[in-house]
Every structure is written in C-alpha cells, then in structure tokens.
Structure 1
Amino acid sequence: MRKILGKQTTLSRRVTLTGVGVHSGKPASIILSPAEADRGIVFVRTAPTGAEVEIPARFDHVVATELCTVIGAEGLTVATIEHLMAAFAAMAVDNAVVEIDGPEMPIIDGCSAAFVAAIQDARVVTLKAPRKAIRILKPVRVEAGDAYAELLPFEGTRYDVTIDFANPLIGRQSYVLDLSPAAFRREIARARTFGFMRDVEKLWTLGFALGSSLENSVAIGDDRVLNPEGLRFADEFVRHKTLDAVGDLALAGLPFIGHFRSYKGGHKMNWLVLKALFADETAFEVVGETRHVETAGGLSVAVPALSPAKA
C-alpha cells in the first residue's frame, strides 16, 4: 500500500525511438523530451506551413478509435498512441513532449516494452508542483450489445479486462491488474498486439496494416499462432487488451483512483467511458497531495494539475 502523494514528474533528458508505422509501413521516429509542470503529455507535429502544432494527449482530442487510438488538432493527427501512453501512465511520467515526424507512432515490436525502456533510460525526475488525481465517486458505464466498459469507486487503480472470442485459440480470457511500475513491466509491457491473418489480408488490400509483420504482431491463423516463437504469455491476448486500456484511460489527462472494468471492450469503449465520466461532474472529484489516499496496487500516480472538468 502506498499513498497517492508527492510531486509531478518529467524526464531528465531527451530520448529518441525509431521504427515503422504499423499501417503505413513507413519509417517513423519520435523524440521524448522533458516538459514543465502542468504541461501534461503533448504530441507535437510540424504542419505543412512549418508551424509546430501541439496535440494534447486527452480524450477530447480523440478523432478515431477504429483500428487504434488517434488524436488530432488543427487538421493533423497522430495514430497508435496507446502503447506509449500506457508506458507514461505506468511509469508515472506526468509531463513530456513527444515530437513526431509523421502521422503514425513507430510500432516497434507491438507492445510497450521499448517505450518503458526509453523512459527508464531517460530517467524520471521530480518537479516542484503537486500531483492531482481523479477519484471515481459512483459507477459510470457504457454499453454496446453485450459489451461494456465501466468505472467504479475503488481505493486503488485497478484494470479488470475480459475478452471473449469465438476463435478457440483465444476464447474467453480475463486479467486483473493493480497498476504499478513493477507490475506493468513484469506482467503487461511485453504483451503484443494481435490480429487474425484473414483480417490482416483484407486490411492490406485497403492500404492498411502495411507495416504489420511477425516482428510486431501476434498473427493468428486458422488453427495456430503463426509466430515461430509462439506467445510470450499463455494469455498474451487479454494482457495486450489490458495494456491498451491503460493507455486509453491515460487520456483522462489525470490518473484515476478507481476500478476500470470491461467486457469485449476496445479503444472506442475505453474512450466512451471517459466521455461519460466527464459528462457527469458528480461522478468524480479531483484530489491532490493534501488528501491521503492509499492504493491497493502500490501505485505512485503521476498527474498534471489539470482540471478534468475543463478537459
């Protein structure tokens, strides 16, 4: 048990990561840089005019959720941000600038491990400003058929994710994570994105998933996993969905004290439950370092001083 107290954080220095975009197949590069207190996580792209456009990593800047989470501002977008956002949230990075050279994040190997390693390499340092967090006060739920996502009151930060696929290679899997840097690194960060080969082949014909390969995705055939090395975890599929949830929920702009639960969820439902939360001002409160709140998961949360009601 650790108390949610303390100061905001940032990185001590710049660090660069390179790879390819999972959909474009083109080279992609990002630079993670330190940022001042209360800046939050901000993506920066250069417009055709040469001007730099800032895109805050918040739910109100989400513009698409079909194949990944995409944020945008002033006509520019950044796709597949969830793996990096999960690493920032789990490693308690409050403030950072992400300079990106195009519309798509490098997929690296399809998980958060490389981003966690980069953050550790850059080193997280403490600023003077106090942290704040969103405390869930009452249940908030969104549904689509039998699928749902909800936020519940809870003294900690818990992710409780269930997936249910007809394919017997996946089937029904559940995972519960009490978020902490150590638990995320050990249990979640290496879980890769996955897809069915029949779906990937359709996407290829439409010009998507051009960068998808066995190097960065778990490929599921008719009767087997096609990656020669197999799975990293027996339940790698639900662990990756949990990773996605950590990254998507980080778009609240503030970490939350509560219990996130989903069944057959995904990027869209993760986003919709955030919208539903902030649409009801009685469903949450903002707590800071003066309030002693203990977590069940050993989480030292990182939160910029941003009012969610204004997000």
Structure 2
Amino acid sequence: MARAGHALQKTLADSVCLSGIGVHSGEPATVVLYPAEPNTGIVFIRSDLEDGHAGISATFRAVTATELCTVVADRSGASVSTVEHLMAALAAYGIDNAVIEVDGPEMPIMDGSAAAFVEAFEQVGTVTQSSGRRVLRVLKPVRVDSGDAFGELEPWPTARFEVTIAFDTDLIGTQSIEFELSPGLFRRELSRARTFGRISDVERLWAMGFAKGSSLDNSIAIAGDRVLNPDGTRWEDEFVRHKALDAVGDIALAGYPIQGLYRSYKGGHRINVAVLKALFADPSAYEIVELDTRRETVREVGHAELGAAVAAAAYGPERS
C-alpha cells in the first residue's frame, strides 16, 4: 500500500538560486529551481538563449551524451550537461515537478556532489500537490552488458540500488553499496559523495579543452594510490557512494519514480541510460501506475508516452 504522503506529487515550495562554475568550461554558472504545476515533470530551460529552449525534458530520450557526464538536449541541439547530481537529489526527495533555469550549457558543479541541492531543498521546503504520483513499476528483469560491466533492473517493491565498482588501484579496489532510496538515506549517505578521477586523466582532458573548472574544490584527485585532496575523502568508500549517486540521477531520467531494483557492476552513465532504453524498448517489462491516496491502491494508466527522442545518444568511454 502506498502511504498518503508518497502518493501525491510534490514540487518546491519556493524558487531557489545556486551559483558556481561549470566543470568543463570553468565559467560561472547559475541555476534557478522553480516550483512547477502537477504533471510538468522536470524541465530544463536555457535562459541565455533567445527563446529559452523550454522543454528540454529530463528523460532518457533527451540524453545526447554520457561520456564525461549526462547531457540532455532539445531538437535544436540546445543542451544542459552534468544534470545527474541534481536529478539524484530531486528523485531522492520525491520532487516530481520543477523547472530548472540554467544560464549556460552546464550545471554548476558545486563541490562535485549533490549536497548543495539537498541544502537548497531543505531551505525552501516542498509542497504536496493535488495530483496523484505516477510510478514506473518494473515487471521483469532487463539487463545490459558491456564487457564485464553490466546494469540491470528487476522487480522490487521499493526503489532499491545495489552498486559495485572495481578499479585497478589499491586505493579504490572493489567497493559495493546497497540501499533503499529515501530522503534521509540520500542526505546522510550519498549527497556529499564527490566526483573523482585520476590526475593523469584530468591533465589529458585539460589538453583537450575540457575540465577547465576541475579542481580539488570540486573533485577527488587521485595520483597512483594517493588522494591529493588535503582533507582526504569524506568516507573510505566515497568512490562507490558517488557512483551510486550518479546511478540514482541517471535512473531518474525514466521520467517517473521507479519501483524496482537497479543493480550495476563497473557501471556508469552510459550503462545506466542504456538500461532505461532497454526497459522502455520492451512494453511488457514495465507498467505506469497512478497512486490513489483515497483508496490507498494503485491504478494502471498504461505505457505513457515520453518526449520524442532528440538525437541518438553518443555513448563513449566512461568517466566518473
């Protein structure tokens, strides 16, 4: 049975503004989060463009790149990158409807985690709306393999994640985390986990004109088996916690809260999004149900149509 507090849609109680830098451009970036009407979903707007390009829907069908981060775009090619940290926080806090106004092509990276978004949500609060939530229920297993890496969704009564990473360095090695997604769990255990990378990879990206805004202020830098950040890591297993944060954000691109178990091994943005594509390619693998608070039951509403694809996703090598 669905609890009443979870069965109605939610949005922010007020708007909130956050500023930082874009991790790739190194330029200032500002995002304003606005409340939105029921059934709006999560929508990105580029405020720096003439018509705003409203309608960049935060769904897997709008994903155009997953190599360095998750990027969503509209049909014209107007895009917003590094959406996964905000999407994870929105999903964890059960925020169904919001308009995200960004003043450039990148979300601000903040400190490399989702902590600033959590603080923003708790600062302004959320409000329950009059419409019932629509939930995506996984009905049968769906799996995507890539070499020895994989991601899979299978039926489960809640939103559960089981994430394992394996790196060829003693500093990280093999790490795993399992959890049922909730606001409290996300706030305590995941929201402060930062992105990470080898300093040699960052130097290569600098030479290619990327990661200009990457620094020890917004990522964990690894050299050999050492963490270069003066304060070290926030948890010994901060690496898998961040990968799990990314997974929550990417799976939120289903466009609905998911009732199912997401499991990944050596996964990342590319595999996370590929699993969603595989799920929606098989109508028998899922159903969309609307939670009914009056009867504390669910009502099937069929296989909802998400936004049309804007371009074939450009899947490349994974990075954190």
TM-score bracket relative to the smaller structure: over 0.9
| Distance of 1:189 and 1:310 partners within structure 2 | 28
Cα drift, residue 2 of structure 1: 6.5
Please give the TM-score of this superposition, normalised by the length of structure 2.
0.90
The answer (yes or no) to whether the contact 1:44–1:53 under 8 Å persists in 2 is yes
The answer (yes or no) to whether the contact 2:59–2:306 under 8 Å persists in 1 is no
| Distance of 1:276 and 1:76 partners within structure 2 | 25
| Distance of 2:279 and 2:20 partners within structure 1 | 35
Cα drift, residue 242 of structure 1: 0.2
Supply the AA of the counterpart residue of 2:102: I
Aligned to 2:314: none
| Distance of 2:2 and 2:306 partners within structure 1 | 29
Tell me, what secondary structure is at the counterpart of 2:64?
strand
Cα drift, residue 3 of structure 1: 3.6
Cα drift, residue 309 of structure 1: 4.2
Q: Cα deviation per residue 1:8-66 (whole Å; 9 max; x = unaligned)? A: 11111110000000011000000000100000000001464x21212110100000000
Q: Percent identity?
A: 55
Aligned to 1:300: none
Moved over 3 A (4+): 1-5, 290-294, 305-311
Aligned to 2:8: 7
Q: Cα deviation per residue 1:192-221 (whole Å; 9 max; x = unaligned)? A: 000000100000000111100000000001
Aligned to 2:88: 86
The answer (yes or no) to whether the contact 1:278–1:308 under 8 Å persists in 2 is no
The answer (yes or no) to whether the contact 2:9–2:128 under 8 Å persists in 1 is yes
The answer (yes or no) to whether the contact 2:135–2:291 under 8 Å persists in 1 is no
Whether 1:57 aligns to 2:49 is: no
Cα drift, residue 281 of structure 1: 0.4
Q: How does 1:64-213 map to 2 (within 5 A)?
A: 64-73=65-74, 74-213=76-215
Aligned to 2:216: 214
Q: Cα distance 1:308–1:190, how it changes in 2: closer, same or farther (>3 A)?
A: farther
The answer (yes or no) to whether the contact 1:278–1:309 under 8 Å persists in 2 is no
Cα drift, residue 310 of structure 1: 3.7
Cα drift, residue 292 of structure 1: 5.2
Aligned to 2:27: 26
| Distance of 1:144 and 1:292 partners within structure 2 | 40
Q: Cα deviation per residue 1:67-105 (whole Å; 9 max; x = unaligned)? A: 000000122000000000000000111100000000000
Aligned to 2:317: none
Supply the AA of the counterpart residue of 2:165: I
Q: Cα deviation per residue 1:136-169 (whole Å; 9 max; x = unaligned)? A: 1000000111110000111111010000000111
Aligned to 1:299: none
Q: Cα deviation per residue 1:90-127 (whole Å; 9 max; x = unaligned)? A: 01111000000000000000000000111111210011
Aligned to 2:230: 228
Supply the AA of the counterpart residue of 1:40: G
| Distance of 1:56 and 1:160 partners within structure 2 | 27
Supply the AA of the counterpart residue of 2:52: E
Please give the TM-score of this superposition, normalised by the length of structure 1.
0.93
Q: How does 1:249-288 map to 2 (within 5 A)?
A: 249-288=251-290
Cα drift, residue 177 of structure 1: 1.5
Supply the AA of the counterpart residue of 1:41: I
The answer (yes or no) to whether the contact 2:287–2:302 under 8 Å persists in 1 is no
Tell me, what secondary structure is at the counterpart of 2:214?
coil
Q: Cα distance 1:127–1:117, how it changes in 2: closer, same or farther (>3 A)?
A: same
Tell me, what secondary structure is at the counterpart of 1:25?
coil
5+ residue gaps in structure 2?
Answer: 308-320
Equivalent residues, number: 300
Q: Cα distance 1:221–1:189, how it changes in 2: closer, same or farther (>3 A)?
A: same
